[in-house]
């Protein structure tokens, strides 16, 4: 969105609106909106229930581990896995790690999410503490420099590092490259870095591990997300005259339509409220 706003402003008059599917994109769009520079309405598909509940949690949760397992062929049971960030992606990654038998540690900056992780049975601690005990590290934050040189300094020899959240800046791979310009690939998609006498293994160059080392989400998950995209685009066109130049939530009816279609495709049905129940729920 930033590119079209600042590099190609001549295109803005022809744009009806946009649908944003990523957490990173939502962050940038929100910043544009706060600054009063958003030139057209954007539906935050990433905030739709069918996106973060299913795509982020079940999609990335599974496909990230698919990438890790394909690439390393390691046994996960009994290992200490550190998940940085307990948003929807982190929840999915932690859940699958526990299912594989790992001891899961969660790091967070949000106290509410940290409490949630604690109450769901995970160890919660700062990254500097987790770095001392972790064996496999997976960043899921959408932010930069989550794992840096201060963490490498206390990590165990042989630690495995990967990213399931954002670009290749969550793990400070550049620091490792500076320390070991002669690093080499020990196996496809696994780079070995020697740093202060220890060896670290970075998967997929620190890029999104579910894409760099695997095939991304299963189609059953993408069906839901693409349904939100298509229905949101239709909504923008149908309501273009009345929508403000703001970041807009996915309308509830769109999540409802997508999830009902998904249930039907699975041969599943659910109950419907009676008129008496509807009246009761809407009364005071």
CATH number assigned to the domain comprising residue 81:
3.40.50.720
Nearest residue to 210 (alpha-carbon basis) of 74, 68, 37, 18:
68
**Which band of pLDDT confidence, cut at 50, 70 and 90, is reported for residue 170?**
very high
Do 105 and 20 belong together in one domain?
no
89 and 184 housed in the same domain: yes
**Residue 178 has what pLDDT?**
95
pLDDT of 24 above 90: no
Angle at 252 between CA 247 and CA 253, to 5 degrees: 120
Is residue 1's pLDDT more than 80? no
Does position 176 have pLDDT exceeding 90, yes or no?
Answer: yes
Same domain, yes or no: 44 and 172: no
Q: Are residues 147 and 89 in the same domain?
A: yes
Residues 164 and 101 in one domain: yes
222 with 208, same domain?
no
Among candidate residues 169, 194, 212, the one where a domain is terminated: 212
Report the CATH number at residue 28.
3.40.50.1480
122-141 pLDDT tens trace: 999 999 999 999 999 999 99
Q: At what angle do helices 219-238 and 252-265 cross, to 10 degrees?
A: 140
Phi-psi region of 198 (alpha: psi -120 to 50; beta: other; left: phi over 0): beta
Assess whether pLDDT exceeds 90 at residue 251: yes
Q: Report pLDDT digits (tens) over 197-230.
A: 999 999 999 999 999 999 999 998 999 999 999 9
Based on the fold, state whether residues 109 and 121 are members of the same structural domain.
yes
34 and 58: one domain? Answer: no
Q: How far is CA 161 from the centre of its chain?
A: 16
Domain count for the chain, please give it.
2
Q: Which domain holds residue 247?
A: 2-50+218-282
Same domain, 142 and 28: no
164 and 62 in a common domain: yes
Same domain (yes/no): 62, 196: yes
Do 142 and 45 share a structural domain?
Answer: no
């Amino acid at each position: 969105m930033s590119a079209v706003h600042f590099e190609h402003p001549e295109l803005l008059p022809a744009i009806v609106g946009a649908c944003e599917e990523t957490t990173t994109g939502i962050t940038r769009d929100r910043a544009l909106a706060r600054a009063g520079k958003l030139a057209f309405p954007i539906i935050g598909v990433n905030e739709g229930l069918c996106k973060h509940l299913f795509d982020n949690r079940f999609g990335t949760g599974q496909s990230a581990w698919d990438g890790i397992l394909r690439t390393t062929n390691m046994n996960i049971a009994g290992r200490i896995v550190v998940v940085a960030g307990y948003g929807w992606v982190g929840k999915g990654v932690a859940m699958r790690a526990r299912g594989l038998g790992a001891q899961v540690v969660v790091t967070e900056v949000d106290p509410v999410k940290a409490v949630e992780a604690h109450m769901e049975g995970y160890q919660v601690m700062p990254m500097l503490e987790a770095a001392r005990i972790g064996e496999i590290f997976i960043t899921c934050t959408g932010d930069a420099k989550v794992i840096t040189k201060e963490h490498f300094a206390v990590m165990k020899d042989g630690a495995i590092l990967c990213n399931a959240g954002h670009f290749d800046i969550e793990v400070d791979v550049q620091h490792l490259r500076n320390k070991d310009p002669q690093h080499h690939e020990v196996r496809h998609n696994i780079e070995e870095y020697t740093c202060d006498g220890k060896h670290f293994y970075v998967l997929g160059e620190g890029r999104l591990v579910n894409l760099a080392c695997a095939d991304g989400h299963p189609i059953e998950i993408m069906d839901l997300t693409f349904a939100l995209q298509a229905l949101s685009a239709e909504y923008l066109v149908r309501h273009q005259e009345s929508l403000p130049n703001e970041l807009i939530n996915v309308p509830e009816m769109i999540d409802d339509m997508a999830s009902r279609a998904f249930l039907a495709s699975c041969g599943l049905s659910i109950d419907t409220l009676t008129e008496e129940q509807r009246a009761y729920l809407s009364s005071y």
